[in-house]
Structure 1
Amino acid sequence: MTIWNLGSINSDHFYRVGHLPAPGETVLSAGMERGLGGKGANMSVAAARAGSHVSHIGAVGTDGQWAIDRLTEYGVDTRPIAVLDTLTGHAVIALDDAGENHIIVFPGANREISRDAVGLALAEATPGDILVMQNETNQQAFAAETGSKLGLKVAYAAAPFSAEAVTAVLPYLDILVLNHIEMAQLVEETGLLPGPKLGVDTVIVTKGAEGCVLYDRKNGWDAIGFDAIRVDAVDTTGAGDTFTGYFLAGIDRGMGAEDAIELAIKASALMVTRQGTADVIPDLKEVLDWS
C-alpha cells in the first residue's frame, strides 16, 4: 500500500530568539539554520520513517533540487515532484527559549501544482491506498474528489485553517485531523460537530500538551481522549505534522485508530525534544525504543 501526499515543500529558516517579538518590536536572533520543512514534506518524512511507502506529489522551484534530494534520502518517493520556473516555498520561523514559535510562510511553487500532475500521479494509486493533503498547496479539492472516486482513503490536515478549503474537501474525506482552535473555527463557520452530519468517519482534534480527542463512526461518535506525554519541549515546530504522518502510517499498516494515535503521540512527543522540522523527525525504532 502507498500513502500519497499532495503536500508542500519548504525551505525552513529558523531564527533563535530570546522571546517572540510583539507587534512593532525588533529582536535580535542568536543564530539561523536552514532545514527541510513544509507541512507536506514533514508528513511525508514522518510516514516514511514510520515504515510506510510514501509518494509525494508537489513542486519546488529551480532552487529546490536539494529538497527533493533530502526527501529521497529519507525514503520518500519523489518522482511526482515537479521542478517549476519559480521559487521554492519557504518559511521564516522565530523560535523562543520555551520552544514556541511564530511562522511566516511564502507558498512559492506549492501553489502552482498542475491538475495534470496530480491526476497522473494518482493514476498509479490502487484502491485502499491513503491520500493526505494540507492547506499549503493548490488542487486539494480536485485531488480529494479524484482520490475518493479511485477508492482511496482520503485524509485532510486542516492547517493552515481555511473554512473554504475544508468545506471544499469535506464530501470526500474519510479522516480529518485538526487542532482544537481549528475545530472551533470549523464549528463557527459551518455549525457542524464531529458526527454523522459532518460526514467524516474519523475526526481527530489535537490539543497540544493536553493530548487529543478521537471521534469516529466505529465508536458511535463518542469522544475518546488521549493524554500527551510530558516532555521538556525544545521546539514544537512540526510536531502536529509528525503526529499526522505517524497516525496515517499506523492506519496504513492495519492498526486501529486508537493504537495509531498512541504511536503518533509518542512520535510527536519525541519530536519536540529536538530542534528542527523534517530533518529531525524520529524513525520508528527510535519511537518504539524511547521511554
Structure 2
Amino acid sequence: MTIWNLGSINADMVYGLPHLPAAGETLAADGLERFLGGKGANMSVAGSRAGSRVSHIGAVGPDGRWAKDRLTEYGVDTRFIAEVDVPTGHAIIAVDAQGENLIILYPGANHALDSAQIGKALASANTGDILVLQNETNAQVEAARLGHELGLTVCYAAAPFQAQSVQEVLPYLDFLILNEVEAEQLRQETGLDAAELPVRHVIVTLGSRGARYLQQGCDPVDFAAHKVQAVDTTGAGDTFTGYVLAGMDRGMPMEQAILQANRAAALMVTRHGTADVIPDLREVRDAQLD
C-alpha cells in the first residue's frame, strides 16, 4: 500500500536564540542552520523512515530542486512534485535554549498546486491507500473529496489550525489529528467535543503529556509521553503523525502505531532540525527510553 501526501515543502531556516523575542525586541542569533522542512515533507520523510511507501504531491520553485532531491534520497516518491514559477515555501524558525520555538511561514509554491496535478497523482492510487493532508497547501477540499470517492483512507493533520479548513474537509475524513488547543477551538466553532466528531479515528496530542486516541463507539485511550531532555520541538508532531500513518499503512492496531509514534517523537525532540533528523525505524526500536 501507499501513503499519498498532499503536503508542503519548505526550506527551514532555524535560528538559535537565548529566548523567544517579545514584540519590538531585537535579538542576535547564536546559530543558523538550513533544513528540509514543511509539515508535508516532514510527514513524508517520517512515513518513509517508518517503513512505508510514500508518494508526495506538492510543488517547489526553481530554487527548490535541492528539496525534491533530498526527499528522493530519503526514499520518498517525488514524481508528483511539480516545479512552478513561484518561490519555494520557507519557514523562519526561532528556537530558544529550552527547545521551544516560534515559526514564520511563507507558503510560496505550496499554494500553486492545481486540481489536474492532484488528479493525475491519485489516478495511480489503489483502494485502501492512505491520503494525508495538512493546512499548508491549497486544494485540500478537492483532494479530500477525490480521495474519499476513490476509497482511500483520508487523513487530516489540522495544522496550522483554521477551524473553517477542518470543517470543509470533515465530511470526507476517516482520521483527524490535532492538539488539545486546536480541539478546543474546533469545539467552540462546531459545538462538538473531539469524541463527538463524525470521524472514525481522532487523535488529540497533549504535548509533554502524550496523546489521546478517540475511536467512534469506544472509550478514549491515553498514551503517556516519554520523558526526555528536549532541545527542539520543531517537527515532533509531524514525526508522530508520519509514524502513526505508517503504522496504519502496515496494518498495526492503532494503539501499537501510537506507541511507536510516541517513541519516534521523543527521539525527535532531542535533535536540532526538521526532516533531515527524523529518526528511522531501527533507531526508534533500539532507543533506550523510560
Category of TM-score, reference length = shorter chain:
over 0.9
Per the TM alignment, residue 31 of structure 1 is displaced from its structure 2 partner at its CA by: 1.5
Per the TM alignment, residue 86 of structure 1 is displaced from its structure 2 partner at its CA by: 1.0
Gaps of 5+ in 2: none
Counterpart contact for 2:187–2:194, Cα < 8 Å? no
**Secondary structure of the structure 2 residue equivalent to 1:70:** helix
Q: 1:248 pairs with 245, 259, 269, which one? A: 245
1:173-223 Cα shifts (integer Å, max 9, x gaps): 00000001110110011111234x521000000011010100002xx2421
Residue of structure 1 in register with 2:227 after alignment: 230
Establish whether residue 212 from structure 1 lines up as the match of residue 211 from structure 2. yes
**Match for 2:74: what amino acid?**
Y
1:49-88 Cα shifts (integer Å, max 9, x gaps): 0000000000001100000000000000000000001100
Instruction: Give the Cα–Cα distance (whole angstroms) in 2 for the partners of residues 192 and 134 of structure 1.
Output: 21
Counterpart contact for 2:15–2:32, Cα < 8 Å? yes
Counterpart contact for 1:11–1:34, Cα < 8 Å? yes
Establish whether residue 201 from structure 1 lines up as the match of residue 194 from structure 2. no
Give the aligned length: 288
**Match for 1:55: what amino acid?**
S
**Secondary structure of the structure 1 residue equivalent to 2:76:** coil
Residue of structure 2 in register with 1:94 after alignment: 94
Residue of structure 2 in register with 1:7 after alignment: 7
Residue of structure 2 in register with 1:145 after alignment: 145
Counterpart contact for 1:194–1:221, Cα < 8 Å? no
**Secondary structure of the structure 2 residue equivalent to 1:274:** coil
Equivalent positions of 1:184-195 (< 5 A) are: 184-195=184-195
Counterpart contact for 1:194–1:200, Cα < 8 Å? no
**Secondary structure of the structure 2 residue equivalent to 1:14:** strand
List structure 1 runs of 4+ shifted beyond 2 angstroms. Answer: none
Counterpart contact for 2:163–2:186, Cα < 8 Å? yes
**Secondary structure of the structure 2 residue equivalent to 1:80:** strand
Per the TM alignment, residue 268 of structure 1 is displaced from its structure 2 partner at its CA by: 0.4
Residue of structure 1 in register with 2:84 after alignment: 84
Instruction: Give the Cα–Cα distance (whole angstroms) in 1 for the partners of residues 173 and 218 of structure 2.
Output: 16
**Secondary structure of the structure 2 residue equivalent to 1:98:** coil
Instruction: Give the Cα–Cα distance (whole angstroms) in 2 for the partners of residues 213 and 31 of structure 1.
Output: 36
**Match for 2:202: what amino acid?**
V
TM-score (norm 2): 0.98
CA RMSD of superposed structures (Å): 0.7
**Match for 2:214: what amino acid?**
Y
Residue of structure 1 in register with 2:28 after alignment: 28
Counterpart contact for 1:144–1:172, Cα < 8 Å? yes
Instruction: Give the Cα–Cα distance (whole angstroms) in 1 for the partners of residues 269 and 241 of structure 2.
Output: 14
| Identical positions, percent | 64
**Match for 1:112: what amino acid?**
A
Instruction: Give the Cα–Cα distance (whole angstroms) in 1 for the partners of residues 87 and 192 of structure 2.
Output: 38
Counterpart contact for 1:13–1:35, Cα < 8 Å? yes
Instruction: Give the Cα–Cα distance (whole angstroms) in 1 for the partners of residues 43 and 6 of structure 2.
Output: 10
Q: 2:286 pairs with 267, 284, 289, which one? A: 289
**Match for 1:117: what amino acid?**
Q
Counterpart contact for 2:183–2:194, Cα < 8 Å? no
Instruction: Give the Cα–Cα distance (whole angstroms) in 2 for the partners of residues 16 and 123 of structure 1.
Output: 43
Instruction: Give the Cα–Cα distance (whole angstroms) in 2 for the partners of residues 135 and 284 of structure 1.
Output: 27
Counterpart contact for 2:7–2:137, Cα < 8 Å? yes
Gaps of 5+ in 1: none
Establish whether residue 16 from structure 1 lines up as the match of residue 21 from structure 2. no
**Secondary structure of the structure 1 residue equivalent to 2:28:** coil
Instruction: Give the Cα–Cα distance (whole angstroms) in 1 for the partners of residues 60 and 164 of structure 2.
Output: 25
**Match for 1:165: what amino acid?**
S
Instruction: Give the Cα–Cα distance (whole angstroms) in 1 for the partners of residues 55 and 129 of structure 2.
Output: 11
Instruction: Give the Cα–Cα distance (whole angstroms) in 1 for the partners of residues 103 and 125 of structure 2.
Output: 34
**Secondary structure of the structure 1 residue equivalent to 2:77:** coil
**Match for 1:243: what amino acid?**
F
Establish whether residue 258 from structure 1 lines up as the match of residue 255 from structure 2. yes
Establish whether residue 111 from structure 1 lines up as the match of residue 111 from structure 2. yes
